[in-house]
Structure 1
Amino acid sequence: MQKSKEDKIKIPTILLIEGRPIVQEALKLFLVSDMDMNVQTAKSYKEAIPILKKTTSNHDTKSNKIDLILFDVVWAKGESLEMVQSIKKDFPSIPILVMSTGYDDKLATRVLKLGASGYKSCLASIEQFQEGLLTVLSGRTYISPLVTKQVFADSFQQADMTAHEVLSDREFQILIMIALGKTVGEIGLDLQLSVKTISTYRTRVLEKLNLKNNSQIMQYSVKNSLI
């Protein structure tokens, strides 16, 4: 009995986590039409969890298996680090390609250290985006050429670190979320941590950056192009 074409050629399935409808549809159209990939979508990581659990627990077929998770750090904002951590903890075998649709790549080193398999720069070309997807799908790591030097420098250059680079990943995440205007209570709900815990992280951020209040956190973040 001859195998069907679908049996012979496994078309990759991408899980696109994107909360902006227009961006989600545009990326889905590109992935399906230009790259001949299957695409499942979710508006948030919370919405993506049932999809991931269903596909990773299905031992009878590989047709719906998620081969790669794709999301944008600009859309995810302060939750991008938490998303990478959660995905690698709950679904460690699924590679993550993080992209940026903004004009800053300051999170590149952090998301890669947390386990992302690739990072697409905000200024990368369509061809580089395609290359990144195929590279990560093949089991390798991809870093956009435009941020390779930055990632390399971040790994070895300690003497000239800016103040926020000494923050832990969680502290940096709290910094960004406060800078975006979220209250301690809102951050606690988002990260499923107590208000007391978030307040402790906030205090550490203020001390390490020599700042006094949330207003100064916002000013610092804007000045250093963190938001």
Structure 2
Amino acid sequence: MSLHESLTKMVDFDQQSFFVSAAAIAFNPTFWNIVARREYRTKFLTRLFGGNSQAACYALAATIFSLGLIRDFLYERALRDQPSHPALEEPLVKYVAYVLLAVGNIFVISSTWQLGITGTFLGDYFGILMDDIVTGFPFNITNAPMYYGSTMSFLGTALLYGKPAGILLTLHVLLVYLTAIRFENPFTAAIYAKRDRERAKATGKSVESKKEL
């Protein structure tokens, strides 16, 4: 049996819900990266909220969170439309699924707790910068705990349902998030590097003025 035939038996590609779920998974990080970068360059959301960058950031956070709920709903719906595999219905697989869900949610919740709402939902792009780099758990394990935690939750759900299609969609999730990290990390680093340069420049001026006195 060829790989194509094997995949066709395990994953029903005739189900539209599978591709709708895949599209939603790809859409979310694409959306928030485009919107956040436009906000950074034009402040269009901040202007929309009367110059209140905090309110604008919270509005984007609510939008991203809502889109995440829709994505999760579409993913679960896609899994329900897919065939199960007997090998994924063993008790051991279910235990692994629960562990993945638990660890994944711990990563997501603890990173949100560490960063706060604005730190989690792209506050950097609104000019709401953190004072120092967060190094405590879970950032002492990975620099992208929300993305990897979310990926673990997707995989855990796929195993819990016993759906090979869910494993394939999880690989899609991981690819999308790794791509997002490649775009986000350098841009965020540049934002903080600019802040550090401005601080150093301001400190230098302050020192010079004291010498003159």
The TM-score range, normalised by the shorter chain, is under 0.3
Higher relative contact order (CA 8 A, sep 6+): 2
TM-score by length of 1: 0.25
Give the greater-gyration-radius structure (CA).
2
Greater share of helix = 2
TM-score by length of 2: 0.26
Greater share of strand = 1
